Amino acid sequence: MPEVTAFMSGWFGGHLAVAVFIGGVWTVTVLSPGPNLLATLHATARGGARAGVTTAAGIGLGTAIWSGLSLAGLAVLFETVTWAYTAVKLAGAAYLIVIGLKLLLQRNAGAAPLHPAQAAPVPGGLRRAFFFGLAADLANPKAAAFFASLFAVSVPAGAPLAFQAGICALVVVIAAGWYALAALIFARPRVAAAYARARRWIERVTGALFIAAGLRLATDRS
């Protein structure tokens, strides 16, 4: 019994508090609009709720990769080998800019469905949506630095591997859950109908925001 009491005390007095802190900080971060939200809404507009939720799953995998690599010391590697970080950063920025340019320059407005709720599934559509979400998330290597900073001030040294895995699972669930919820809301008939009426302008603004995000990433010196 003393061993059980000590274990419970350790979790609820330490590990649980760390998990709540990380979950809270990450939730606030995820709720802030950014490329991942743009990717989710764009996929939903093109392929419906299923495509949006699948994109959210891809973002979740990207979050798992960045958070896991951060715990493994990727941020330290980026700080040591600066050219590697610069290369990844520029590649991600180029990807975001290309997406933005495609949205701005596309002329076949009729290619999109009337609105997300009426989108018909297409071959490979969900697979493309998944990798679109994954690529959008991996395009920002600053996520590694963010997770490294967050984990450095919260995860105790020598924390059990199971606890670290649980932290990674927590941030993945928060990210994928929020973006999936955003996709489901955006696909609702009223919201989708409003999107359909202003689709051309919304896609132009979305393209401009993707380009702005890419340029900001490329020129960021942190």
| Number of C-beta neighbours around residue 222 at 10 A | 4
Helix axes 16-31, 142-154, angle to 10 degrees: 150
| Stretch (H or E) spanning 204 | helix 199-219
pLDDT score recorded for residue 5: 42
Full-model pTM? 0.75
Distance CA 114, CA 126 (A): 19
pLDDT score recorded for residue 112: 47
Quickly tell me which residue has 């990210």 as its tokens. Answer: 175
| Stretch (H or E) spanning 189 | helix 189-197
Residues 6+ apart with CB under 8 A from 175: 26, 30, 36, 56, 59, 60, 63
pLDDT score recorded for residue 107: 62
pLDDT score recorded for residue 12: 43
Is 179 in a helix, a strand, or coil? helix
Residues 6+ apart with CB under 8 A from 158: none
Structural domains counted in the chain: 1
97: Cα within 13 Å, side-chain hemisphere: 12
- Per-residue pLDDT of the chain (222 residues), as tens digits, is 444 444 444 444 457 888 888 888 889 888 888 889 989 998 998 888 999 999 999 999 999 999 888 887 765 666 676 777 777 778 878 878 888 888 788 765 444 444 444 444 444 588 899 999 999 998 887 787 788 777 877 777 677 888 888 899 999 999 999 999 999 999 888 877 777 677 777 778 878 888 887 888 778 765
pLDDT score recorded for residue 213: 79
Exposed, middle or buried by CB within 10 Å (0-12, 13-18, 19+), for 143? buried
pLDDT score recorded for residue 118: 47
pLDDT score recorded for residue 154: 76
Domain of residue 108, residue span: 2-219
